[in-house]
Structure 1
Amino acid sequence: MVNKVKRLLIGRPMKSGAIEEEKLGKLKALAILSSDALSSVAYGTEQILLVLMAAGFAAIWYSVPISLAVLGLLTILILSYRQTIFSYPTGGGAYIVAKDNLGVSTGLIAGGSLLVDYILTVAVSSAAGTDAITSAFPQLHDHRVGISLIMIVFLTIMNLRGVTESASFLAIPVYLFVLSIFVLIVSGLIKLMIGGVHADVPEIGTAVSNISLFLLLKAFSSGCSALTGVEAVSNAIPNFRKPAERNAAATLLMMGIILGSMFLGISLLAYWYGITPNPKATVVSQIAESTFGRGILYFVIQGVTALILFLAANTAYSAFPLLAFMLAKDKFLPNMFKARGDRLVFSNGIIFLSIMSALLVIVFHGDTENLIPLYAVGVFIPFTLSQLGMMVRWFRIRPPHWGIRLVVNTVGMLTTLTITLIFIFTKFAQVWMVFVFLPIVIGMFYQISKHYRNTADQLRIDLHKDKPVIKGSTMVIPVAGITRAVMNSISYAKSLTDNVVAVYVGFEEEEIQKMEDKWEEWNPGVRLIVLRSRYRSVIKPLIKFIDTVEWKTAETDHITVLIPQFITKHWWQNLLHNQTSLVIRAYLFKQKDVVIATVPFHLNR
């Protein structure tokens, strides 16, 4: 039944040789890797206005130069990450760049920040998408958490179905969103030109008495939340068709042009329309209503905006599993993140991402405002480290025209570092958790790496010196009575060795005598050892006996504990029986260096 449901949800398994067919072309890659960046158009301008409103309505004109500054930073990041793509065509983005040029510890900071950022991406995107829905349908406001969780489950299933299938499905709403926003921008500009808008807005350059540099920097850093997701293309180069780096670089450039145009268009319309933040209606919602009224076009724009905000999470679903794979390959994450699932995707990474982001949505009650600062800090730390790493690389290898490349990365590093510091100082009350959680993540990386190193050291053999030791075999069979399960176990043991002994742990003299008499009458050709337990424990007397056998036969025999176990036909029938065999096996696995084997006997009714 479980297998049928799995096949229905994610499809039939794919052959390993089909992995090349799962690679993405530029248009599909743009849809699934740029959805995070493109979706930030829906809230980037709003984040700027939220800060500026602290100085009053007269300060909203500052949103225009701040938006232009954000556009300038976007240009620098696009140019910088194009350089990263061609320098590190295997993918990995900031993690690989920082590890290669700044050291393993710095690389882990970048990698850990990106992992946290991708988890936050899913949480922020689902919460922001829910906000867009509740703007159009306020009666759903109290069900935000449930709506967000449903969308996370949907995206999980879609991504488990494979890269190509999810890209084909998700590309439609992404391009529909891009088209809708451009229709909104063009329609808004036409309405302005024909005099259809009568907003009394402060002119650009109007003096604002209580504005400060600190407030402007805070608004700029908030607006830079629109740049999250820019790095995803450089992380996911292995997902592109050949030539992968050229296709990735072209995709990154297309994303930058589309994102910059939409962000600037929405910011200008918000200023010209005199839009201010409203807790019950997003900035895009207010612009659409002012342009089209509450007609069909308004609801179309709200619908596709909600869709793109949900689908922004798909960028994380594409990049997180690849980054987790690279960290696992370097022994900093569990090996399970290296395994591909039935549909040739890193299924464990996808499922882990979904669980963690769902927990965040529940903890923060789907509140986008509380999640975005965490989200932005999580991405600007690796932004800064990536730029710094590329600076070191250019200075170290000095390729042709390295000076121009160094200048680009230096400007990018100083800008992203400034934004990171602004976020830390202005929103510390909201982002302090990053500085608690991130060291824990880095410590976890090192503990995992230490475990793998220790395991390798203990398992490694000298091919020239270490040879298998040939010994005999002694088998110990714990028995609770005389049954077919016991008979099967004895038959199997006798087929391998003559050194077989059955062990019975009794609590009462009467039951012990009864067992001894039945065993003698049955006479299976195996000696029965009876152990008396005063405290009704099976484990302790059995372990003590195995210790004795080990001590006597350590030089000559391998010890095998052969556990008889009957298997019920239905799962619920297990609840009707003591699971002593499972307890014995678990304890022996934990405590003893002996061979542990189970001989099953299946019940058919």
Structure 2
Amino acid sequence: MGEGRGEGTVVTPSAEFPPLTPAELDALRRIGAQWRTAPGRPGWSRELPVDPTLGRYRGRPTPSRFGRLTPIEMFRANAAGGEPPGKAAAGGERPEENEPEELVATEGATLPGSRLGRGLARLRRAVFGPPLRSSAVLYERMRKLVALPVLSSDLLSSVAYGPEAMLSVLLLAGGGALGLSLPLAALLVVLMVVVGVSYRQTIPAYPHGAGSYIVASDNLGSMAGLAAAAGLMMDYVLTVSVSIAAGVNAVTSALPGLARFTVPLGILVIAVLLAGNLRGVRTAGNIFAIPTYAFVLALVAVLGAGFVQAAGRGFAPLPPPPVPVVEGLGLLLVLRAFSSGAVSMTGIEAVSNAVPAFRPTEWRNARATLSFMVGMLVALFAGIVVLIHLNGVVPAPGQTVLSQLARHSFPTGPWYALVQAATALILLLAANTAYNGFPRLLFFMARAGHAPRRFLHLGDRLAFSDGLVVLSVTAAVVFVAFGGHTQSLIPLYAVGVFLAFTLSQAGMVVHWRRHRGAGWRRRLAVNALGAALSGLVLLTAASAKFTEGAWVVVVAVPLLVLLFHRVQVHYRRLNHALALRPPGAAPAAGPAPADRGPGPPEGEESPQQVRHLVIVPVARLNLASLRALAYAASLGQPTLAVHLAPEEGEADQFREQWEAWGDHVRLETVVSPYRAVIGPLAHYLEALHASRPDLVFTVIVPEVVLRRSWYRPLHSQAEQRLRRALRRLPGVVVTSVPVHLPG
């Protein structure tokens, strides 16, 4: 993907239905030519006994069930793919002459038919909001004022524990080692700026959404992209579980009586985040924007008051309390402290991954938002570290460093409680960044075939519902498994996220070497520096924290890469089997996978090439089986009836009944002395198919439809069992003729 500064492509529901390639269109035309030249049947496919436009219902009362399930609206077709919300819903404009008319299902068409289903649907809408039209995706994108808190909550909240994580490592070498916090913080600020500028360069180069997965895949290969995706996915899950654990711990510290409800409180917060994000991007942004801004204002107040107090004593640093030496000061300890402080950068890639979620011009607004985010991060991180140094604060059990700074800045009054409340709230909602990044990452992966295609689907509120649910369930499992005390998972942060950072920056180095535009050497140097610093943090975190839990990432990333690769192999096989090919053409270039199994018969893309044999299993002659036989005979194709008998006597008796009926259809009986039905019938049909694989076998099964579900145990469900048994046979179609029971 080359550099471009056009508007980012909006993610729409049409992403589930990618357009055909030119080769596929050519094959489609050649296949369609055979339909047009079907011998002796000119125009047969356009002769219908009903009006498909349902024009006869216009201006007339319609049956209530018809009107509820398939309401019809006529509107002028829009070349852009949709009308503004509300226009078509009100009936739209009458189509002008010679313009195509379209049938549009209204919101009422989505309601289930049963009373219970409608009740649940109304409850769902009350919680998540009414469904949005597909065209409303243009109005669901974020403006910068909303995007900034939505995408920065994880990044900005990390300053509440990032500096403390760095000091906790330095403290192992005694109070004298705390002096290294300032140079290490300066180096971390350089890293923040370099990585931020690197992603700022990435956004206009990849204006359609440039997460580490896309950049690494495009420039370093599929495996590098999958490794970046695996690291980011683990980071997103940990962001949710760890942030919520930290927030819940902050709440239970202030209210110790709630400590025994840690796990239920955490699950409740995950449910609230899920519900808020399922309501859509814009709604979630409006809900979660205020806590982020409140946290930023609280930190600015703490820093402002703290520096005013420090200025009163001439900025003379207060001595820290004496701390015993636990570990000698060495290079490894310094590197561990540096990598621990680097967790303050988690979430910095969120903007580049969510470019299509911005309002036009997407890449420009995304880049401006990222610049504000990085600027706020640098200012808050540097200010907190400097204020820690000036106040002589050290990590202490039972109270966070940020809490100690707030007490220093506001020793009296309600301001300390407000700062703690804002901190707890932002920690609880910091997971919202993951709720924006994780589903979009899965969307990009599904588009390339590395994740299930269901993650391309936009839900009722134009949110990636499946990805949101998967993230919530996974994070909840991690949270429950560790009893809400997930601090031991913090060492995994740096490994996963800096793996993605390193691969992304290295990918951009390759990108600039390939696309040598104006100033490419300067941009390459910035990305190369970012890759080097990120790689240093990655190696340090992976080696120094291997025994603390980093081994989980070392093991999990290759396993996830293998899983993603296997998903793509499956879709490659599917695409190979379903690829459009001109009549008589050989399969697509490249051998099909050896274990893909038998495929459908070749050359059955036009009606005249399909040769039928209709088969009707008949257990007994009653109304259901006679209707199935009548339906089969009406198709005008060769028809065979099959009866399975438990013994010869029953077979003879059935033949007599068959002859009394008139022997209108060829009958074949299969004696099953072991009284099995589905197995022998499936094997018999498989043997028939093996003898003539060029035939399409249409198995017509009579099916009794019950109005009450509690009657199902009274029936054998043989139709469903037979359908499952025949599903694996290529060229076999199973259909049913329903007979509805009253009452």
Q: Contact conserved, 1:61 with 1:202, CA < 8 A, in 2?
A: no
* Partner in structure 2 of residue 452 of structure 1: 571
Check 1:472–1:382 CA distance in 2 against 1; reply closer, same or farther (3 A cut): closer
The one-letter code sitting in structure 2 at the alignment partner of 1:586 is: R
Give, in angstroms, the shift of residue 106 of structure 1: 1.8
2:676 counterpart of 1:537? yes
2:434 counterpart of 1:316? yes
Q: Contact conserved, 2:686 with 2:729, CA < 8 A, in 1?
A: no
Give, in angstroms, the shift of residue 440 of structure 1: 1.5
Check 1:287–1:588 CA distance in 2 against 1; reply closer, same or farther (3 A cut): same
Distance in 1, Cα, partners of 2:626 & 2:704: 12
Distance in 2, Cα, partners of 1:55 & 1:499: 88
Give, in angstroms, the shift of residue 162 of structure 1: 1.2
* Partner in structure 1 of residue 724 of structure 2: 586
Q: What pairs up with 1:297-308 in 2 under 5 angstroms?
A: 297-308=415-426
Segment of structure 1 superposing worse, 401-410 or 231-240: 401-410
Alignment equivalent of 2:629, drawn from 490, 504, 514:
490
Residues 133-167 of structure 1 show CA distances to partners (whole Å, capped at 9, x for unaligned) of 22222333333332222222221222121111111
Alignment equivalent of 1:348, drawn from 443, 463, 466:
466
Q: Contact conserved, 1:132 with 1:282, CA < 8 A, in 2?
A: no
Paired residues, number: 602
* Partner in structure 2 of residue 433 of structure 1: 552
Distance in 1, Cα, partners of 2:543 & 2:611: 70
2:734 counterpart of 1:596? yes
Distance in 1, Cα, partners of 2:391 & 2:676: 79
Check 1:405–1:484 CA distance in 2 against 1; reply closer, same or farther (3 A cut): same
* Partner in structure 2 of residue 248 of structure 1: 366
* Partner in structure 2 of residue 391 of structure 1: 509
Distance in 1, Cα, partners of 2:350 & 2:344: 14
Q: Contact conserved, 1:124 with 1:375, CA < 8 A, in 2?
A: no
* Partner in structure 2 of residue 563 of structure 1: 701
Check 1:551–1:250 CA distance in 2 against 1; reply closer, same or farther (3 A cut): closer
Segment of structure 1 superposing worse, 441-450 or 56-65: 56-65
SS state at 2:483 partner: coil
Q: Contact conserved, 1:567 with 1:601, CA < 8 A, in 2?
A: yes
Segment of structure 1 superposing worse, 363-372 or 383-392: 363-372
Q: What pairs up with 1:257-268 in 2 under 5 angstroms?
A: 257-268=375-386
SS state at 2:676 partner: coil
Check 1:135–1:59 CA distance in 2 against 1; reply closer, same or farther (3 A cut): farther
Unpaired runs of 5+ residues, structure 2, are: 1-116, 585-602
Q: Let me know the Cα RMSD of the aligned residues.
A: 3.0
Distance in 2, Cα, partners of 1:103 & 1:138: 51
Give, in angstroms, the shift of residue 340 of structure 1: 1.8
What's the TM-score, normalizing by structure 1? 0.91
Alignment equivalent of 2:274, drawn from 150, 156, 164:
156
Residues 65-123 of structure 1 show CA distances to partners (whole Å, capped at 9, x for unaligned) of 32232222111111111111121111122222222322232222222322222222222
Give, in angstroms, the shift of residue 230 of structure 1: 0.6
Q: Contact conserved, 2:355 with 2:362, CA < 8 A, in 1?
A: yes
* Partner in structure 2 of residue 233 of structure 1: 351
* Partner in structure 2 of residue 104 of structure 1: 222
Give, in angstroms, the shift of residue 220 of structure 1: 1.1
Give, in angstroms, the shift of residue 40 of structure 1: 0.5
Segment of structure 1 superposing worse, 281-290 or 103-112: 281-290
* Partner in structure 1 of residue 86 of structure 2: none
Segment of structure 1 superposing worse, 533-542 or 239-248: 533-542
Segment of structure 1 superposing worse, 301-310 or 223-232: 301-310
Q: Contact conserved, 1:121 with 1:312, CA < 8 A, in 2?
A: yes
Q: Contact conserved, 1:320 with 1:350, CA < 8 A, in 2?
A: yes
SS state at 2:728 partner: helix
Alignment equivalent of 1:91, drawn from 193, 204, 209:
209
Distance in 2, Cα, partners of 1:298 & 1:530: 87
Q: Contact conserved, 1:135 with 1:282, CA < 8 A, in 2?
A: no
Residues 426-485 of structure 1 show CA distances to partners (whole Å, capped at 9, x for unaligned) of 100211111211112211222222222222222224325355353453322334445554
Q: Contact conserved, 2:512 with 2:523, CA < 8 A, in 1?
A: yes
2:715 counterpart of 1:577? yes
Segment of structure 1 superposing worse, 262-271 or 88-97: 262-271
* Partner in structure 2 of residue 179 of structure 1: 297
2:478 counterpart of 1:360? yes
Give, in angstroms, the shift of residue 29 of structure 1: 0.8
SS state at 1:69 partner: helix
Give, in angstroms, the shift of residue 508 of structure 1: 6.0
Give, in angstroms, the shift of residue 253 of structure 1: 0.9
SS state at 1:475 partner: strand
* Partner in structure 1 of residue 562 of structure 2: 443
Distance in 1, Cα, partners of 2:168 & 2:126: 45
* Partner in structure 1 of residue 164 of structure 2: 46
SS state at 2:132 partner: coil
Residues 230-250 of structure 1 show CA distances to partners (whole Å, capped at 9, x for unaligned) of 111111111111111111111
Distance in 1, Cα, partners of 2:691 & 2:520: 72
Segment of structure 1 superposing worse, 165-174 or 502-511: 502-511
Residues 330-364 of structure 1 show CA distances to partners (whole Å, capped at 9, x for unaligned) of 22222212222222222222222222222222233
Q: Percent of aligned pairs with the same residue?
A: 40
* Partner in structure 1 of residue 72 of structure 2: none
Give, in angstroms, the shift of residue 31 of structure 1: 1.2
Distance in 2, Cα, partners of 1:340 & 1:590: 31
2:145 counterpart of 1:22? no
SS state at 1:590 partner: coil
SS state at 1:545 partner: helix
2:613 counterpart of 1:474? yes
Higher helix share: 1
Q: Contact conserved, 1:9 with 1:157, CA < 8 A, in 2?
A: yes
Q: Contact conserved, 2:172 with 2:326, CA < 8 A, in 1?
A: no
The one-letter code sitting in structure 2 at the alignment partner of 1:476 is: I
Give, in angstroms, the shift of residue 279 of structure 1: 4.7
Distance in 1, Cα, partners of 2:180 & 2:623: 84
Alignment equivalent of 2:542, drawn from 424, 442, 459:
424
Distance in 1, Cα, partners of 2:569 & 2:725: 26
SS state at 1:492 partner: helix
Distance in 2, Cα, partners of 1:515 & 1:287: 91
Segment of structure 1 superposing worse, 163-172 or 262-271: 262-271
SS state at 1:34 partner: helix
What's the TM-score, normalizing by structure 2? 0.75
Distance in 2, Cα, partners of 1:61 & 1:140: 38
SS state at 2:674 partner: coil
Give, in angstroms, the shift of residue 191 of structure 1: 4.4
